[in-house]
């Protein structure tokens, strides 16, 4: 009998396992594929390995103004893919090593709930019983039923595009969310002609519109069509209708990327038989990640609550600690996000629109990034970036922090800490930001808030 049996070894499951074992719980982790899940194998890590190469290539080509001229610059896709594979392999090995070191029993195979306390393995018929069972089965690319998409060799998802052997000369991206935008940034940096078709009025709809508008300007050369409902695909030609227009338009590419969201992977897990409530959006859990069935928990993308690796890890850590008898919670109001590109965008907490909708008397400040010394020194006057803060006039608390700038993803954790801990603008203004750093944008934006 285990204290905790975890189904799925992504950043939700392996973090839960590591934490549980470190706290002395007898822990089993079941994984049917490579450990590390989407994040390590098909998501965060491979895309960042590739994006780093594309940025380096672009900087080599575009750095004459700062005194660097390179000749013979080229991009070797095969080498980039090898770099990506090596990075992934190393990290997968690290996680396997960590599991071993902590004493987590790693079980290979496809798990299925055979009761609320037991997970059976399809391939071997073995069964693992636990006082607690955690569903951490992740998500997979959604494939909307667009006519002409299924079975079309030119239509790929993020899973397949990370393994291509030849760069397309043109790419149509359906969906202007995080995956669509990050891969558009990658391919367009390499000179691929990229078009994005987004159904909603704006790309990256989770950002305030003014921030999304700044980010859009950083996607130089990408043709973005918003309010575009895709009606069908024929080879690499994607037909769409814009707004109320009667006429269909069309845009063609050598390749079409479906980046229209992800959906929780829940089929074949035996959830129905055990009475765990779920919908296509995910397993229904409370804020502590408990399903309605005692002893059955769910974390990460499988819950559909926040489809981000670090959110999954935060949920996994909280569940392991709760099971070990510690006080733990997930900071739901302060789960940061990052859109990787050049530059990056990052945010945490409420947007201005969300704060107003929630009834706060919200004060905001918004500073262009070129007001910042380090930004100017590295990027110049023509570059785009912005820092926007949202605060509550009544309590003086910071409600949201959003930034488009280099290192955005590296800096946002500080604001996460502040918002999760209910810090006030005055608290944060008293902290000392090193100079010259892009992080000073936060300091200046704090000072610019009129409370």
CA distance 88 to 340: 18
CA dihedral sign, ordered 96, 98, 100, 103: negative
Within 8 A by CB and 6+ apart from 294, the residues are 116
Interatomic CA distance for residues 215 and 341, integer angstroms:
9
Site residues, ligand NAI (CB under 6 A) = 144, 174-180, 182, 197-200, 205, 230, 259-262, 307-308, 337-340
- Whether 310 is a known active-site residue: answer no
- Tokens 């919200």 correspond to 362
Closest Cα to residue 401, out of 418, 384, 426?
418
Beta bridge partners of residue 27, listed in sequence order: 4
Spot the catalytic one: 310, 384, 435, 443: 435
Cα–Cα distance list, 388 to 54, 292, 411, 446, 447 (Å): 28, 39, 14, 9, 12
Residue among 322, 296, 323, 289 at smallest CA distance from 114: 296
**Residue 146: CB partners within 8 Å, gap ≥ 6?**
174, 230, 231, 232, 233, 258
* DSSP string of 158-220, one letter each residue: HHHHTT-SS--SEEEEE--SHHHHHHHHHHHHTT-EEEEE-SSSSSSTTS-HHHHHHHHHHST
Minimum CB distance to ligand NAI, residue 3 (Å): 31
For ligand NAI, the closer CB: 182 or 440: 182
Judged by beta carbon, residue 6 or residue 178, the one nearer ligand NAI is 178
* Beta-sheet pairing, 398-405 with 386-392: antiparallel
Instruction: Give whichever of 52 and 393 is closer to ligand NAI, judged by the CB atom.
Output: 52
Q: Which is nearer to ligand NAI, 258 or 320 (CB)?
A: 258
The least distance separating ligand NAI from the CB of residue 28, rounded to whole angstroms, comes to 28
Closest residue to ligand NAI, Cβ-based? 177
- Intra-chain end-to-end CA distance of the chain, in Å: 56
Beta bridge partner(s), residue 203: none
Report, in Å, the least distance between residue 199 CB and ligand NAI: 4
The residues, any chain, with a CB within 8 Å of residue 307's CB and separated by 6 or more, are 139, 262, 301
How near is the Cβ of 124 to ligand NAI at its closest, in Å?
32
**Two structure tokens written together for 107:** 């079980």
Residue closer to ligand NAI by CB (options 16, 256) is 256
Nearest distance, CB of residue 40 and ligand NAI, angstroms? 13
HSE-CB for 282 with a 13 A CA cutoff: 25
CB nearer to ligand NAI: give 222 or 446. 222
Whole-number minimum distance, CB 310 to ligand NAI, in Å?
8
User: What are the φ and ψ backbone dihedral angles of 290, each rounded to 5 degrees?
Assistant: -85, 135
Q: How far is the CB of 4 from ligand NAI (least distance, A)?
A: 26
The nearer residue to ligand NAI, 105 or 210, going by C-beta atoms, is 210
Residues that are catalytic: 435
């Amino acid at each position: 009998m285990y204290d905790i049996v975890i189904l799925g070894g992504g950043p939700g499951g392996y973090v839960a396992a590591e934490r549980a074992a470190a706290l002395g719980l007898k822990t089993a982790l079941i994984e049917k594929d490579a450990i590390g899940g989407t994040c390590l194998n098909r998501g965060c890590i491979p895309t960042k390995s590739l994006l780093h190469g594309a940025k380096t290539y672009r900087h080599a080509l575009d750095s004459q103004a700062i005194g660097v001229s390179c000749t013979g610059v080229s991009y070797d896709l095969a080498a980039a893919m090898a770099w990506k594979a090596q990075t992934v392999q190393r990290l997968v090995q690290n996680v396997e090593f960590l599991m071993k070191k902590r004493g987590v029993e790693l079980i290979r195979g496809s798990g299925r709930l055979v009761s609320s306390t037991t997970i059976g393995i399809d391939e071997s018929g073995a069964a693992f019983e636990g006082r607690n069972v955690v569903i951490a089965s992740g998500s997979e690319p959604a494939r909307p039923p667009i006519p002409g998409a299924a079975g079309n060799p030119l239509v790929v998802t993020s899973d397949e595009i990370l393994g291509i052997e030849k760069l397309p000369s043109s790419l149509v991206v359906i969906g202007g969310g995080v995956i669509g935008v990050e891969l558009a940034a990658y391919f367009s940096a390499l000179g691929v002609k990229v078009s994005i078709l987004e159904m909603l009025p704006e790309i990256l709809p989770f950002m305030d519109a003014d921030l999304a508008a700044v980010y859009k300007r950083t996607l130089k050369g990408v043709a973005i069509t918003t309010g575009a409902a895709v009606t069908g695909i024929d080879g690499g030609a994607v037909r769409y209708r814009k707004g109320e227009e009667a006429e269909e338009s069309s845009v063609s590419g050598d390749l079409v990327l479906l980046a229209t969201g992800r959906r929780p992977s829940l089929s074949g897990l035996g959830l129905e038989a055990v009475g765990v409530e779920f919908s296509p959006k995910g397993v229904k859990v409370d804020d502590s990640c408990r399903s309605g069935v005692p002893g059955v928990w769910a974390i990460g993308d499988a819950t559909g609550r926040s489809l981000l690796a670090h959110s999954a890890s935060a949920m996994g850590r909280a569940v392991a600690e709760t099971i070990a008898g510690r006080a733990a919670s997930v900071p739901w109001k302060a789960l940061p996000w990052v859109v990787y590109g050049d530059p990056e965008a990052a945010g945490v907490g409420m947007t201005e629109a969300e704060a107003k909708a929630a009834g706060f008397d919200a004060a905001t400040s918004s500073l262009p990034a070129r007001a910042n010394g380090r930004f100017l020194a590295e990027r110049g006057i023509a570059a785009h970036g912005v820092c926007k803060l949202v605060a509550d006039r009544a309590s003086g608390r910071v409600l949201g922090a959003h930034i488009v700038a280099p290192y955005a993803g590296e800096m946002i954790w500080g604001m996460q800490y502040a918002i999760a801990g209910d810090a006030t603008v005055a608290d944060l203004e008293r902290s000392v930001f090193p100079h010259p750093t892009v992080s000073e944008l936060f300091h200046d934006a704090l000072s610019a808030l009129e409370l």
